[in-house]
Amino acid sequence: RIFLDNTFCHPLFQHPPREAVIEEAVEVAIAKWPCVLFVSVYRLGKEQLLQALARHLKTKVFISPDRAKALAASGFSLNDFVQEPCPVAQINLEDLWRLGLHGCIWAVNGRQLRPALQRASSNGVIAHG
């Protein structure tokens, strides 16, 4: 048996092309740069967005060790990525503040996004997500 999910095939769901969404996200990020930019990610996906952000902002994207392994296993180039120095919740606030001054992109899972943003912004770190 094969089960197909065609939820988004309905005409009600008219999503813009991926390239247009990436372009818009890059424009918004450039306007707010430098900052700590948290991007919510799943196990895989959003690599094109992360690469575009890294290249336009001339930086690399922090990713977890698990994500690095998954990307490597899928044959994806890791040129625009670097393993995170520690889990986002454990980073020293002074280090996070420095990252915000220079600009940093950090791929986080959905559960980490809100706490990371709240911790950063409540401690004077310029952060967006």
Beta bridge partners of 63: 83
Using one digit for the tens of pLDDT, what is the confidence trace for 41-100? 987 789 999 999 999 999 999 999 999 999 999 888 899 999 999 999 999 999 999 999
The residue to which tokens 């980490």 are assigned? 112
The total number of residues written for the chain in this structure: 129
On whether the CB atoms of residues 107 and 87 are closer than 8 A, the answer is: no
Mean pLDDT, to the nearest integer, of 9-15?
Answer: 82
Please check the confidence at residue 115 and state whether its pLDDT lies above 90.
yes
Full-model pTM? 0.88
